[in-house]
Amino acid sequence: MDEERLLDRCRQGDGYAWHQLVRSYWGFCYRLAYHLLRSREDAEDAAQDALLQVYRSLSSFRGESSFRTWLYRIVINCCRAKMRRSSPLTQVANEEGNGEQELVEQPDLDRMEKADALNWALNQLSEELRTVFILREVEGLTYSEISQTLGIPIGTVESRLHRARKTLRDLLKRIF
């Protein structure tokens, strides 16, 4: 069944169609939430929250963007809400206040593997930079899709992605 027909059936209250929609998009929601939150439990909660939000809001989806772009935005918003409710981040703004992040803790470099190093480095990014990086490099969205998803200009997407890549490169150089 194509996506548009599936969405129409969900809007009409078809439980089987809703089940199909959840089956189709659960992995996508969870994966994105996990990359943003870095916790399995938090990612499951955020993915469930996002799909619940979709269920409640599906009648308001106007189709001005793709369903997937709309869903990205909902998942990201659920992750942001979860981050606001959770404990403070281990990042602090530097004294100049230019938005760059200082590291609070240094990793145990002797035991860290490459994947752990990348995860550690991703966690050092601000939420804005990490979100754009994940959407582009992990999820494979185009700059235009990221712009639509986050509601920011393409130029902002480009500059955030550039800063994220540079920061990650600099952090990983410290480790390796």
* CATH code assigned at 55: 1.10.1740.10
Beta bridge partners of 121: none
Pick from 57-61, 72-76, 103-107: least confident:
103-107
Residue 95 falls inside a structural domain: no
Say how far apart CA 105 and CA 124 lie, in whole Å.
10
Sign of CA dihedral 150, 91, 119, 176: positive
pLDDT tens-digit profile of 103-115? 545 444 444 467 7
Check whether residue 80 and residue 108 sit in a common domain. Answer: no
Say how far apart CA 124 and CA 167 lie, in whole Å.
9
Nearest to 157 by CA among 165, 166, 146, 148: 146
Looking up residue 119, the CATH number of its domain turns out to be 1.10.10.10
Residue 48 falls inside a structural domain: yes
pLDDT at 2 > cutoff 50: yes
pTM to 2 decimal places? 0.72
Domain count, the chain: 2
Say how far apart CA 46 and CA 78 lie, in whole Å.
6
Check whether residue 74 and residue 26 sit in a common domain. Answer: yes
Which stretches of 91-155 are assigned E, i.e. beta strand?
A: 92-93, 101-102
Residue 97 falls inside a structural domain: no
Check whether residue 117 and residue 62 sit in a common domain. Answer: no
pLDDT at 130 > cutoff 60: yes
Please state, as a whole number, how many other Cβ atoms lie within 10 Å of the Cβ of residue 110.
Answer: 5
Please state, as a whole number, how many other Cβ atoms lie within 10 Å of the Cβ of residue 56.
Answer: 9
Instruction: Find the domain containing 146 and state its range.
Output: 104-175
Check whether residue 110 and residue 74 sit in a common domain. Answer: no
pLDDT at 10 > cutoff 50: yes
Pick from 36-45, 115-124, 126-135, 155-164: least confident:
115-124
- Supply the pLDDT for residue 15: 95
Region 20-24: what's the mean pLDDT?
95
Residue 90 falls inside a structural domain: no
